[in-house]
Copies of this chain bind each other. A is one copy, B any other.
């Protein structure tokens, strides 16, 4: 169900943003009718009015959040100065794109990203969207390597992404997880010998 009036559209959008916020804060399981409504400051029934099912709401939230992250990545690409992206700075840039910009509650945000990735396995209806987002991220990374004067093949991009993702999921079981540091280590080792 989509909105028909501008006001309705605004309301619907507020729900999507609230759901996206919940997604970031607590994962897919945090997106519930009542939680979304409360976060958006709207009544419970508005969530079922604008979205036929919870799945539809989840999909909209993921799309909103994914596009936001891609926009962030594109902005980073645009402002990229090839002269000032030495090894370390460049690695941080790649990590920013894959794990999100470094923040205080680092491990938490990263965890969410990988919960999303894995949860797709249980939510086949998200696969098409997830594939699209993932594909655009790969392309973005490909462009960034080229722009930074370190062109790589698409296969190599996939390999580096896999390396980062694997490092992250393995870091999550540490006593005090620091997935970004783990990924940084792996990436450094794999890129340095060139």
Contact = CB atoms under 8 A, between A and B. Distances in A.
A173 B129 CA distance: 9
Given A114-B118, A115-B118, A162 B167 contact: yes
A49 B162 CA distance: 44
Nearest to A26: B122
Nearest to A110: B121
Size category of the binding interface on chain A: 35 or more
B165 A131 contact: no
Contacts of A169: 114, 117-118, 165-166, 169
B172 A121 contact: yes
A134 interface: yes
Contacts of A118: 111, 114-115, 118, 169, 172
A164 B161 CA distance: 11
Interface string A159-194: 101111111011011110100000000100110000
A48 to B, nearest CB: 24
A89 to B, nearest CB: 23
Nearest to A160: B166
